[in-house]
Structures are given as C-alpha cells and as structure tokens.
Chains A and B, each alone.
Chain A
Amino acid sequence: MTTFSIVEDDSTLRGNIVDYLESTKMFRCLSGYSSAEEAVRRLPGDSPQIVLMDINLGEMDGIECVRQLKLGMAGSQFVMLTVFEDSEKIFNALAAGASGYLLKRQPPVKLLEALQDVLVGGAPMSASIARQVVNSFQGKFVTHGEDYNLSSRENEVLDCLAKGYIYKQIAQQLGISVDTIRTYIRRIYEKLQVKSRTEAVAKYMKQ
C-alpha cells in the first residue's frame, strides 16, 4: 500500500479525497494538514511516499512549501492539486520539486488514474510548460562547477515540445521512442529543479 499525506485548506475536500483514495485500498493516509506552515513543520516526521499539495493555501502557498520540504524529503513525491491549469503556477511548482499535478475538477476515478500516471511516468510536459522551461534556461547563468545545462538532445526535445509537437511527432522527428522522450523530460525537470534552487541561492546575480 502506498502511504500519502495531504495538504489542503478546504477540510471537506480534504476529507473527500482521503476517503476516496483510502477506499481503493491502494492508498493509506498518514496525515492531513490545512496550512503550509504546519506541513513544513510536521511532514518530515510523517515521511509519506506521496504528498498531495494544494497550490493555493494561506499565507505560504503550496509551491513555497514544496521548495522548503523537497530537499529534506527526497523519498517523497510531491503532487500538486490545483483547480485551474494555471501554467505559471504549475511551472513554478515543478521547478520547486513537484513530480506532477492533478486537476481537482477531474472526477475521482480520473484523479486516481492521473495519480498513478504521475507515479509511474513522472510529470508530462505540455507546450505551455515547455515554453516556460525554454525561457528559464535562456536567462544567462553562470555555472559553479556543476553542469546542469541541457544536453543538445534534451534541447531538441524541449524545442519540439515548445513548438507544440506531441510526443508521437517528436518520436518520429528525432527517431527515438516515446519512452526515451519521457526519460529526457524527467532529466529536464531535474535540471530545472537544481537550477531553480541554485538561482534562489544566487539571486544576487541579477546583474
């Protein structure tokens, strides 16, 4: 059974999601929190396999919460819950270390499927997310030893995604399998996360 914790300020919805997931007998809920502040303090002690994290919380949002927790909770996967497909917020969450996102408006069955997809394949990359990734890697940035610039193949995949190509088209164009594309996407996400962490540290480099 997969263990999970949930951070969601709407307690009714939180209860519903927990009830639903537990009723499948595939998931067990370890804890539920209504604020990011509380979650930051308590989640590391729970160490669940999955954290479902609402994006819009109180003073601290779910994105900041993931940013603070991810480093110390390498074993947990963070999956964002959101009402709307606000690509900017989703991008920020992915950069902060989230593994994927789920739309709250999906029916519960879809929620379950999507959750399993995220766990198996990692977050997919839509065109609008890809465009933001392109932008974020274009800013000039000095590397300190560690090289997390994108490889040329990763850049090709990213460029195709930003142009709006679907996985199948990219696979044809680059002569690789769809699974390989997923691997590239996962690596792009990892580099994005390292980069955004380093950037946060080195914000003085604005010049």
Chain B
Amino acid sequence: MKMWGTNEGLPVNSITDIAQTPEGYIWAGTLLSGLLRFDGERFVAYHYRNTPEFPLIGLQRLQVDRTGTLWISSFGRLVTWTPNGFKIVADNVGRVESLLYSKEGAVIFSLDDGRLLEGRLAGDKWQWKHYPVFQETTAPAQICGDRSGRIWYLRSPAQLAVWEAGGWRTLEPAPGLEGQKILSLASDREGDVWVGTDRALMKWTNDRFADMTPAGEGGAAPMIRIMPTAGGLWVESPGLLRRFEDGKWTRESRDWPAMYSEKSFRFRRGDNNGGLWMANDELGLIHVLQDGSRKLIASGNGLPSNAIRDIYPDREGNIWIGFVRGGLMQLRQRLFRVIGRNEGLSEPLVNSVCVDAEGSVWIGTAGRTVSQFKDGVCKNYSLPVPENANDTVVTVDSMNRVWVGCNGGGLLRFSDGQFRTVIGPDKLPGPVRLLQPSRDGRLWVGTLNSIWIVEGHEIREVYVPKNFNGRPAALAESSDGTIWAGTFDGMLHRWSDEKFVPIEPPDLASLGRLWAICPVSDGSLWMGTYAGGLLRWRDGKFLRLTTANGLRSDFVVAVQVDETGGLWLVTGAGVERIHARDLQRFEQGEISTVPVSRYGRSDGLSDIGGSVEFQPNSWRGGDGRLWFAMGNSVASVRPAAVRPNRVPPVVVIEELLANQVRIWPGKSARIGAVSPLPSRLKDLQLVPTVTIGPGQHDLEFYFTGLNFRAPRLQRFKYRLEGYEDQWHEAGDIRTARYHSPPPGSYVLHVKAANSDDRWTDVGAKLGVVILPFFYETVWFRALVALVAVTVPAGLVWFSVRRRMRRRLDVVARQREMERDRARIAKDMHDEIGSKLTRISYISELAMQSKTMDGRLGPQIGTIAETSRDLLKSLDEIVWAVNPRNDTLEHLVAYLGQYAIDYLHNTRVECSLELPSRLPHHMLSSEARHNLFLAFEECLANVLKHARARHVRIEMRLANGGFEITVEDDGRGLPAAREGKPEGDPGADGLRNIRQRLADIGGGCEIDSLSGSGTMVRLRIPLKPSGK
C-alpha cells in the first residue's frame, strides 16, 4: 500500500468516527459539521438543522451492527440509520464507547463510565437497560464481547470477569489460567475469546482456556497485546510482533521496536487484508502489512498531521483516516509509480522515456536536459548544446547505448558518465522528434521535416515529405527487423528497397496523425492515431477500434503490449487497458464493444495527458514493467499487479426533484432504490413508486454509484421506461433530467460501471406515476363519448374531442421537439457558427490584403458583412431553440441585453428597468419565441416610426402575469395623429404584436397620444409553478 490520498475537500474539522453501511456509503461523524455521508464524490451533511433526529451538531461514535444498522451516538442520544432513514431509539442513555455485541434485535454497548447498555427490540421499540460496571478500577481495563453475547472484562492480571444474563461473575482463577498473569484480552472476528498471559496465548473453548501457543522457537514470551485481523491475530510481546494463524506463528514483523510496545497508541486496529494499523501523535501512522513488512506514514510524507483519531478499513480494501482537526483521508492502493518534480526531475515537462539494461530510466524533457532515474535517485544532466536548444528525446539501442536527440543540439550519446555530441546540429537541422534504433546498429532519426539514418558518425536523409501532411509522426522496428513509419496524414509506411512504401489504412481522412506504432512479436502492429482511435495491421489487413467499440477516447498517443498480449494505451482520457482475451473476442466478432479499464489520478497518475510528438514516449522494460511519458512526469506500471475490479458499483437513486422541489424521498436520508441489493437490505421494497399530481413537471433524478477505488471514473446510464426505449449514456454525470413527461407511469432505471467497465446487472429502479388532468383520463373521454351519444348535438362532441386531441398532440409533439432542439442548438452553434466565423474572418482579411484586386473589394466586403449578420441571426436562433433558456429569468436577461444592443449607436436612448430577482418560472419555447418577436417589433416601431429620442423599457411581474412595457416619447401612433390607421407601415406591426400575444394566451395594450409618445404593454399570464 502506498499513499495516494488527499484531503477530499472537507473543512478543517474534527472527525470523531468513520463507518460503512452494507450498501456502501461511508459515514463520518464530526464535531462541528454533523454526520457526513460520502459516496466517493459528494459529501452530504446531516445535522440538527436538516435532520430533526439530531439534537446537536456534534456526533460522537458510529457503529454498524451485524444487521447493517448504523448506530449514531450523540451526547446521550442514540439514533439509528437504515435505508428507511434516521430514527431516534434512545435518549439520555450515557456516552457510548463501543459496540460489544449485536444480533437481530439485540445490542450491547459499553459506556465511557464503564457501565454496559443493553438494548432489546420489542415490537418496533427498543428497550434499554443499564448494568453497573463490574468493579471500579483505575487501571485501564480491557473489555470485549463474544459470539454468544457474553461480555468479558479484564480488570487486573489476576481478575477476569464475565457478564452473562444480566449479571457479573468473576473467574478466579480462570479455568486453564491457574498460576498465570493475564495481560491481554480480545475477541476475534469469529467471536472467539483470546487471552494473553505472561507466558502463553490461550483461547476459550469448552468452558476453559486452552493453550494455543505454538510450540518451539522463541519459547514463552509475555503476550502483552492481541489484535485480531482478517484471517488471524497479531500478537505483541515486548520487542516482538508475530502473526498467529491456524495454530502457528506465520509471520514476524522484523526488528519490532521495543518502544512500540511501551508507547501509548491512539488505536491498534486490524484491517480486512490481514494488516495492522497503529497511530501515535509523535510517530504518525504505522502500518504492518499481512507479510509483516512495515510502513510509517507521517506528516513528513503525506499526512496532513499525525493527530489521527481513527482509521476504518472499507470493504474494497481502502483505508479511511479520520483526523483530529484535519478532516478525512482515503488511502488506496497506488497502481502507477510516478517520477516527477517531487522525485527530483529538474524539468516540469516530459517528452520521452526509455529504460536501459541496468534498469536506469532515462527521461527526455522540454528543456535542454536529460534525467536519469535509478534506485530512487534522480540525476539531471545538462547537455553540452547551444543555449537555445530544447526538447530532448531519449532512446537505448540493442548495445545498451543511450542516445539523445535535441532540437538545435543535434544527436548525442552517453558514455563514461557524460553526453558527447555525435552529430552536430548543423548536420541535423530541424527539431528532433523521433529516435528508433534498429538491430543492425543504425539509428533512425525523425525530425519535424524528414527521416534520417545515422551510422557511426555519418548521417543521411532518407525521407522527405512531399507535402505538409507527409511529415513523419512515428518510427518503429518490428520483430523481423522491418522499419515502419507513420505520417501526419495517417499513412503507414514500410521501409523496403531503400525507400518508404506507403500503406493506406481504410477511412484515412478520419485518422489524423498516425503517431504511435507498437510492433508485436507475431509481426502485427498496433497503432495509435490523433483522432481515429486504434489500428491494427496484420497480414495486410487493418482492424480498427474506436470510441464506438468501447475506447474512451479516439486520441491515442502511446500504445504498449503487456506480457499477456493485453494493450495499454495513453489516450485523451488517461491510461486505458484492454485485456488480451477481450481483444480476441472482439476480433472474432463475439463482442462489438470491448471492456476497457481506465486509470486516472486516483490510481497514482499525476497527469492524465500523455506526451505527444516525441518518441519513444512509452517503453516496455525487461521486467515487463511499462513506462509512459506523461505531460509532467513518467508513470510506470507492473501490468500483472493490476487486477481488474470485478465488483460493479452499487447504484443508489438518491433524490427525485419535480420543478426543483424534492418530492422523494420524503424523509431525510432515506434511500429506497438500490442495486444490487445487499442481502441485509432485502426488506426494502424493490421498486419504490412516487405519485405526482397533474400538471407540468420537470423531473430531475439524482443517483450515485458506490465504489471507492476510483469513484470518479465510474460511468452511468439511465432510461425512463415508459417514455423511451434507448439508454442514455450519462458518462460521469449523476443526474437525469426530463422535461414534463406526459401523464403515465414510468420507471427510471440506472446502471453504473466501475473503472474496469463492470456494469451492474439489474440497476436501481424508481417508479414515477404522473396523474392526468381530468380531461386527459380515459373515463373523461368515455364520458365525453357518452355525452355525444345522448345529446343530439354532435357538434359539441366534435369540438370537444378535437380540442382535446389537439391539446394532447401538441404536448406530445413538444416533448419530442424538446430533445431535438437541444441537439440542433448545439450543432448550429458548433458547426455552422465556427465555419461562418471563418468566412467572415477570411473575407475581412482578403479585403485588407494589399494584393487585392480593387474591383472585388465591395463584393468581398458584402460577404464579410453578410456573414456577420448571419452570425448575429444565428445567435438569436440558437438562443430561441435551446431549451435551456426556457425560463423567465433567461427571457428577461436576453430581452434586456437585446434592447441595449438593438438601440446601441442609434439616436434613441434606452433605459431599462428589470426586476433584480425573479422567481423560477418555466416558459414554453412558443411563448418565449412569440414574446421575443413581439418585443422586437415594438423596438423596430420605436426606431423606425416613432421619431422618439428616448424609450423606457420595464419588465415586471404583476397581476399573476409578466408584463413588458415599452414607452417612447415620439410622435404617437398615426391613429392618434390623423385618425386613419390604414396605410401606415406601423399598423401591420401592431396587428402582428396583438396576434402573437393572443397566440400564447396573453394580451397587448396600446396607448398613444398624438405628439406625446406611445406605450405598448405586452402581458402574458404565468401558471403558478413550483416554489
């Protein structure tokens, strides 16, 4: 185990305790922030302000009993948490110290004053009983519970007591311990009771203590401490720590300092991997691994402080550390080793990496240095090259010679502890990018513009690109000695007959640069491209793998093959791995997407972007370790040590909001939709269902996946059954949003995959029923039909039915459009927008160009202007189309800005009065669009016809609606002026305004006096919606 952890964003605060409940949440008690629930990504705090069950903000102890119930103690009160939420179960029972025993319906706690607290569940109520302390003592007593609910108490080396059936009895002498001093007492994970004496290790079996001390070596030593872990016990004697397993001493922690046996530790705790953790304020955190090796983690090497309250081992093998005034930290296994600035690298940016036969790691950097890393020591070499040289590339040839190429510094070789120039920069012009030694002793060098062969001190150019895109991007040598090259245009080239012969991969235009080539021993090649994912070439055929087949990114910078034939890639999404077996299944057509494991910062990488353009940027060491040049460091991994996590995350649907108000769960911290369902939660209703009244509801579901190895690399997908058939790939987004689904009954399904692409099978489910308005129900339709039959006026029937159907049709259509609109808005914005920008820019430059033919000037000017106008219109259209803007707030902000821009640089001065705050109101796009056009019309009238100097625009909420007033000081309407509205161009505009407002159920008021201006007031009603 190495330290990865970082303070996960908690405030400086005291952690009082940590626990994990069966579905997977990690809980932390704090002194000032209440109870925190953590899902790997987000902390939720429960305290007296949002959870009436908690009396004060501080929490003391957290314990999870055998049934999976979380017991929270807070100043005399006991609160339980189950997936049904919090519940107060006891008050004024004293300060709980620890949970000694639990089974279905029964718990026994020890209190800080030494008393025992027994709880029994009668019906749905807990009954509590206190039992006095065995006997007062000043010496630190040891206490533990066994599997049958007996409590064992060690008061002094001569006195052992047992609590059973409500009473204490002493064992004096304890059967089997006659004549021995009892030094330690503990119960193991199975509930067996052990004691350590001045000479033996004893276990309670068949009503007496039996000697379990392994015979032989070491003789009898006093057993001063017994610490249970998974699979065995750690037993401490002065200056000696041994692991006891299956009746034998199996391990010893070498040179166990005698001081450790004397010092007082805040805790000594076994974990789920057979390890032991101890913390002391001076020393820090001591970790004894299952094999007996020891690590000290202290404030000097990564801990924020040594004041550790406690550690908690979770089920995935991570260790959680709670600090006294320092927050919470997670330790997880580090998969990647990193060499960066902290390890002594002098340059912040890394270009290239290789490993020589002695195991030295050579690193080319963005400066004019090369670094050598061996046995934890980093040596930085400044190269004998000109001042302005930079960007070094390193490689090792088959004779174990280290070569360095340098931009502006030529080619150098390492010998006798220093670098010497082999080819000067005068003979090797252009930036060196690629180095590839070949087995015949030659060195192939790729510069930005050409490929060279170096033989001895001779250099010759062997490839010059015909155009820009023919530049070299990769060089490699396959196992048969063939040299391969990749170029900027995506072509693969094979060296034969003293020239490069191009081989064209299919769909060349979509590839971009072919800039990583990894030859495999069977003669095939794996290749990474700039935008086209991964290619394999074998026997003249190409195979391609892209994001459509499961890759997380089509930007593949480096490719390496591990000993098993599995692939390791550096891509735009970090490091990705594909197992050999999955590759075969893909090749044989058994699967169309391959499971891909993804690694990121949580696995130890300090940068997830790989070095590009320089090669070698990845390397396979003789020991099978893989090395990657990342942006700021070199990362390495031992593929065999990285086992995929086959446990899919537990998915929990946490909340459902309708119109931004939480409607489920009704109770704080209740969870109901969990999958896979831990067996202890089987009493949960499988698909909880929420019923919502009629009307428009914007639904937002919040969900999460519980997995702590790499929580941020989880992926989610969801589907609202009854509404859609397709799953939405949500990536790492933990929210699903639906804009007012029609009345009906739905089930939301959510699935999650861990960073190794293992998906939950069934997924969590939450049912939602949206009730219809009366006119949307079947019985109402039946009633209408009945009316139509019994009342001879068929006309009524027709009109009612038509209106009803129209209404339903409109709603259905709107919803369908909604989804399309979001997509269209994005496409227009990204595609059309950027290309129009280019047109406007190029034409603008063309107009200024000196070589320009004068006669074309005006035409090109028109192109520039038109494309700018188009962009402006497009801006408005994108705004109107994007459903994200479907709120009143967006409308007000946009119209205000629009008015200012519209009247900017005109003779009309504009003053705005907007409400500085607006409540949340959804506005249909139809309403928004019509209001916008009406408003635009008003402004146009003011500008074109009113001859106004000043216009006042006011927007406000009034009379249950929204009003826009546009008031000018111009000459008034022609009707008011001359009494004949016809023929005036403004009249059409006013008719339009009225019509637009009428279309959306609003109204329009126009007031004008000749010579004293016009006032137009647009009004739409607002339906009361959400809070």
Seen from chain A, the residues whose Cβ lies within 8 Å of a Cβ on chain B are: 10, 12-13, 16-17, 19-20, 37-38, 40-42, 44-45, 56, 58-59, 83-88, 104-108, 126-128, 131-132, 134, 138, 144, 159, 162-166, 169, 201-207
Interface-centre pick from B11, B42, B914, B917 (highest chain A CB count, 10 A): B914
| CB proximity of A112 to chain B, nearest CB, Å | 12
Do B838 and A12 touch (CB < 8 A)? yes
Chain B 868-922 interface residues, beta-carbon cutoff 8 Å to A: 868, 871-872, 874-875, 878, 884, 889, 892-894, 896-897, 900, 910-917
Q: In the complex, what distance in Å separates the CA atom of A34 from the CA atom of B717?
A: 31
Say whether B959 faces chain A, with CB atoms less than 8 Å apart: no
Chain B residues positioned under 8 Å from A38 (CB to CB): 609, 612
- Which among B370-378, B499-507, B634-642, B828-836 touches the partner chain? B828-836
Say whether B482 faces chain A, with CB atoms less than 8 Å apart: no
Q: In the complex, what distance in Å separates the CA atom of A138 from the CA atom of B45?
A: 21
* Chain A proximity mask over B851-871: 1 for CB below 8 Å, otherwise 0: 000000000000010011001
- If the complex has contacts A56-B830, A104-B837, A131-B889, are A203 and B917 also in contact, measured as CB distance less than 8 A? no
Chain A residues positioned under 8 Å from B42 (CB to CB): 203-204, 206
Do B11 and A108 touch (CB < 8 A)? no
Chain A residues positioned under 8 Å from B632 (CB to CB): 41
Do B631 and A41 touch (CB < 8 A)? yes
Q: In the complex, what distance in Å separates the CA atom of A107 from the CA atom of B910?
A: 26
> Which among A138, A163, A203 is the interface contact of B913 at CB below 8 angstroms?
A163
| CB proximity of A84 to chain B, nearest CB, Å | 5
Q: In the complex, what distance in Å separates the CA atom of A126 from the CA atom of B895?
A: 12
Say whether B545 faces chain A, with CB atoms less than 8 Å apart: no
| CB proximity of A163 to chain B, nearest CB, Å | 5
Closest to A134 in B: B916
Interface-centre pick from A10, A144, A204, A206 (highest chain B CB count, 10 A): A204
| CB proximity of B504 to chain A, nearest CB, Å | 24
Say whether B43 faces chain A, with CB atoms less than 8 Å apart: yes
Closest to B12 in A: A144
Say whether B666 faces chain A, with CB atoms less than 8 Å apart: no
Do B914 and A127 touch (CB < 8 A)? yes
Do A84 and B830 touch (CB < 8 A)? no
Say whether B981 faces chain A, with CB atoms less than 8 Å apart: no
Other than the known A16-B842, A16-B845, what 11 A-B pairs have Cβ atoms closer than 8 Å?
A12-B842, A13-B837, A45-B349, A83-B836, A84-B871, A108-B848, A126-B900, A131-B893, A131-B916, A163-B914, A204-B8
- If the complex has contacts A83-B829, A105-B840, are A19 and B878 also in contact, measured as CB distance less than 8 A? no
Q: In the complex, what distance in Å separates the CA atom of A42 from the CA atom of B912?
A: 45
Interface of A, secondary structure class, is helix
Closest to A126 in B: B897
Interface-centre pick from A17, A38, A41, A162 (highest chain B CB count, 10 A): A41
Do A127 and B893 touch (CB < 8 A)? yes
Say whether B713 faces chain A, with CB atoms less than 8 Å apart: no
Say whether B677 faces chain A, with CB atoms less than 8 Å apart: no
Do B366 and A45 touch (CB < 8 A)? yes
Say whether B44 faces chain A, with CB atoms less than 8 Å apart: yes
Chain A residues positioned under 8 Å from B896 (CB to CB): 127-128, 164
Interface-centre pick from A13, A88, A107, A164 (highest chain B CB count, 10 A): A164
Do A127 and B912 touch (CB < 8 A)? yes
Q: In the complex, what distance in Å separates the CA atom of A5 from the CA atom of B236?
A: 63
Closest to B607 in A: A41
> Which among A42, A105, A201 is the interface contact of B872 at CB below 8 angstroms?
A105
| CB proximity of B963 to chain A, nearest CB, Å | 15
The 5 closest A-B pairs by CB, nearest first: A164-B912, A204-B43, A128-B893, A83-B833, A105-B871
Say whether B386 faces chain A, with CB atoms less than 8 Å apart: no
24 A-B pairs with C-beta separation under 8 A: A10-B837, A16-B842, A16-B845, A17-B841, A20-B845, A38-B612, A40-B609, A41-B631, A45-B349, A58-B572, A104-B837, A105-B871, A108-B845, A127-B897, A128-B893, A134-B916, A165-B911, A166-B910, A202-B9, A204-B8, A204-B45, A206-B44, A207-B44, A207-B45
Q: In the complex, what distance in Å separates the CA atom of A20 from the CA atom of B841?
A: 10
* Chain A proximity mask over B284-303: 1 for CB below 8 Å, otherwise 0: 00000000000000000000
| CB proximity of A164 to chain B, nearest CB, Å | 3
| CB proximity of A59 to chain B, nearest CB, Å | 6
Chain A residues positioned under 8 Å from B953 (CB to CB): 164
Say whether B342 faces chain A, with CB atoms less than 8 Å apart: no
Say whether B700 faces chain A, with CB atoms less than 8 Å apart: no
| CB proximity of B280 to chain A, nearest CB, Å | 29
> Which among A19, A20, A87, A162 is the interface contact of B914 at CB below 8 angstroms?
A162
Do B837 and A83 touch (CB < 8 A)? yes
> Which among B50, B892, B894 is the interface contact of A207 at CB below 8 angstroms?
B50
Chain A residues positioned under 8 Å from B622 (CB to CB): none
Chain B residues positioned under 8 Å from A19 (CB to CB): 845
Q: In the complex, what distance in Å separates the CA atom of A59 from the CA atom of B552?
A: 11
- If the complex has contacts A59-B572, A107-B864, are A16 and B841 also in contact, measured as CB distance less than 8 A? yes
Do A104 and B893 touch (CB < 8 A)? no
| CB proximity of B10 to chain A, nearest CB, Å | 7
Interface-centre pick from A86, A87, A144, A207 (highest chain B CB count, 10 A): A207
Do B44 and A84 touch (CB < 8 A)? no
> Which among A13, A58, A86 is the interface contact of B838 at CB below 8 angstroms?
A13
Chain B residues positioned under 8 Å from A84 (CB to CB): 829, 833, 871, 874-875, 878
* Chain A proximity mask over B659-694: 1 for CB below 8 Å, otherwise 0: 000000000000000000000000000000000000
Chain B residues positioned under 8 Å from A108 (CB to CB): 841, 844-845, 848
Say whether B348 faces chain A, with CB atoms less than 8 Å apart: yes
Say whether B553 faces chain A, with CB atoms less than 8 Å apart: yes
Q: In the complex, what distance in Å separates the CA atom of A47 from the CA atom of B1006?
A: 59
Do A107 and B893 touch (CB < 8 A)? no
Do B834 and A10 touch (CB < 8 A)? yes
Closest to A20 in B: B845
Do B897 and A128 touch (CB < 8 A)? yes
Chain A residues positioned under 8 Å from B837 (CB to CB): 10, 13, 83, 104-105
Chain B residues positioned under 8 Å from A163 (CB to CB): 912-916
Do B912 and A201 touch (CB < 8 A)? no
Closest to A23 in B: B848
Do A37 and B572 touch (CB < 8 A)? yes
Closest to A87 in B: B893
Do B833 and A164 touch (CB < 8 A)? no
Q: In the complex, what distance in Å separates the CA atom of A34 from the CA atom of B892?
A: 36
